[in-house]
Structure 1
Amino acid sequence: MTARRGERVLVVQADDYGMCGAVTDGILAGFRAGVVTQASVMVPAPDAARAMRLALAEDLPLGAHLVLACEWEGLRYFPLTDAPSLRAPDGAFLPGVAELRAAADPGEALGELRAQLRAARDAGVTLRHLESHVGVFDAEVLATVSAEWGLPCRDPVPAPGIAMEVDSLWHLSVRPPETKLDDLLAHLAALPPGIHMVVAHPALDRPELTTLTHPASRRWKWARDIRVGDLAALLDPRLREACEALDITLGLSPAAHRGHQH
């Protein structure tokens, strides 16, 4: 997609699709309401197979939210490949980027990301883009799969990686719960012409979110409060009203040429 002269296009990107049922169904609720325009699936996550089936049934455009880390104690996802350097003692992914940088083998990481992309393809999904989950462990690895698959990468990557061609990137999830909607509306009002992405992590408010980690964890706010707050802001009718009043078109991020996809 390219914005016509003077046009403002808003891409509402939902991350973590397939992480668990509450997240999958929250993202679908936003898509059905016409505010989430695309999502990214975590292929190794427990609800990913169901999530991809639903996306295909409902024409939800998907990218790959590439997983090399699992930050939760109560929800675990495991590598698709035999990759010892990517695994915590229980066999699931390591908890974060710092642990990956200390232990992970880039070759094993590359093999794992390729396996995740192949699994999405084999499930029938035509991927539009990719990005890393919880942060970039190795930009060269991301660049390699971006180039191989011809997929724009939301994270900064060196050549031959393909940059996602958006004019701005804004994160709803980091805004305070009490001002999320107001901050989003102010952001929209200030947008110049171009293609602008808002990244969110919506989820339905279900008890399973409180089982992801414990209240003393630094990740606790990411388990429920941020996700439920993101969905509430996206579903508020004032968002659609603002887009109409400001003549902002809800759309997709630009796609790139297709790569080898081997």
Structure 2
Amino acid sequence: MSNERLLIINADDFGMCHATNHAIGMLLAQSAITSTSLMVTCPWALEAVNFVKQNPNADVGIHLTFTSEWEHYKWGPLNSQLSTLTDEFGYFPADTSTVVSNAAPEEMREEAVAQIELAQRMGVDITHMDNHMGSMYHVTEILLDLCEAYQLPLRYAKYSGLFSQHPRHKELVKLAEKKGVLILDHFEMLPFSPPSAGMEVSYAFTKEAVIRAIKTLKPGLTELVFHPSLDTGELKAITDTWQIRRFEYDVFRDEEVRSLLREEDIRLITWREIRARQRLM
């Protein structure tokens, strides 16, 4: 088991818009990916939930949301009375740094509970917990409390550089173990932009990033996160990252990538399986 390479392929932002829902729904239906994460505060969340109801075995986590990053397409908290979570117009702020500076932790906890319980009332059998744009990692203790309360595993990694930079990282890993919350060994996310200025965004760039991630996958449990969507007029009006989101939709349907996963003897695993293991502990 120690040398086995286990991989969760998770599509974030389910519910964000129709183009994203369509892409993620097709990837799940084709078993091209293993899970997704739902944003219940977004305008197209109900469409995503309808897909879940029609596909009850789909692996769907809760993507706790405290930011609304696009200029002309916005959403806000379920509880509009939580004043430290919003901008002057009642929307979530556009960036995580504003959340860290202004949001009261207990208001974040209250809103997170509201998002989790709305998903449950809608009929979603939540398989795991993560958060949009990393907007809750400065209050990881709250995430761990909620994961303990709702018996859910958490997107937090023991060895990833992204998480290990947290000033209390070792303490948080021990706290997760104490609470019986299962976390990842490693975490990877496909890049939204090329590594150097002037380098063209292309399908080849995205595919190379996926191939590199697969070939360098370490033993243990890794989650690879990406943001697929169809390149519709809707998506183009929302974000200038529309090209790379389309490439990320295409790449996990690419036969060369699918073959490489088999050749590398990587076992695809779902958050549902991790949740089941946690609930038996």
Does residue 217 of structure 2 align to residue 191 of structure 1?
A: yes
More helix by share: 2
1:144 corresponds to = 145
Q: Is the 8 A contact 1:143 1:162 kept in 2?
A: no
1:204 corresponds to = 230
Does residue 257 of structure 2 align to residue 235 of structure 1?
A: no
The structure 2 residue matched to 1:57, chosen from 54, 57, 60, is 54
C-alpha offsets along residues 126-184 of structure 1, whole Å, 9 cap, x if unaligned? 11111111123422332322222121221357335665433321112346443221231
Provide the C-alpha distance between the structure 1 equivalents of 2:244 and 2:17, rounded to a whole number of angstroms. 15
Provide the C-alpha distance between the structure 1 equivalents of 2:110 and 2:192, rounded to a whole number of angstroms. 31
C-alpha offsets along residues 6-26 of structure 1, whole Å, 9 cap, x if unaligned? 543321101010001111111
Structure 1 stretch displaced more, 24-33 or 181-190: 181-190
> Which amino acid letter does the alignment assign opposite residue 65 of structure 1?
H
Q: Is the 8 A contact 1:17 1:42 kept in 2?
A: yes
1:95 corresponds to = 94
SS at structure 1 position matched to 2:114: helix
Q: 1:13-92 alignment to 2 at 5 Å?
A: 13-58=10-55, 59-81=57-79, 82-92=81-91
SS at structure 2 position matched to 1:134: helix
> Which amino acid letter does the alignment assign opposite residue 196 of structure 1?
T
Q: Count residues with an aligned counterpart.
A: 247
2:197 corresponds to = none
How much has 1:121 moved relative to structure 2? Answer: 0.7
Provide the C-alpha distance between the structure 2 equivalents of 1:162 and 1:45, rounded to a whole number of angstroms. 31
Provide the C-alpha distance between the structure 2 equivalents of 1:190 and 1:109, rounded to a whole number of angstroms. 36
Provide the C-alpha distance between the structure 2 equivalents of 1:5 and 1:133, rounded to a whole number of angstroms. 30
How much has 1:192 moved relative to structure 2? Answer: 4.2
- Percent same amino acid among aligned pairs? 27
The structure 1 residue matched to 2:267, chosen from 239, 249, 261, is 249
Structure 1 stretch displaced more, 121-130 or 95-104: 95-104
Structure 1 stretch displaced more, 182-191 or 236-245: 182-191
C-alpha offsets along residues 16-49 of structure 1, whole Å, 9 cap, x if unaligned? 1000111111111211222111000001111111
Provide the C-alpha distance between the structure 2 equivalents of 1:51 and 1:25, rounded to a whole number of angstroms. 9
2:5 corresponds to = 8
Provide the C-alpha distance between the structure 2 equivalents of 1:130 and 1:234, rounded to a whole number of angstroms. 23
How much has 1:69 moved relative to structure 2? Answer: 1.1
1:133 corresponds to = 132
1:217 corresponds to = none
Structure 1 stretch displaced more, 117-126 or 30-39: 30-39
Provide the C-alpha distance between the structure 2 equivalents of 1:95 and 1:243, rounded to a whole number of angstroms. 36
Aligned-CA RMSD value: 2.1
Provide the C-alpha distance between the structure 2 equivalents of 1:142 and 1:247, rounded to a whole number of angstroms. 33
Structure 2 CA distance for partners of 1:168 and 1:103, relative to 1, 3 Å: closer
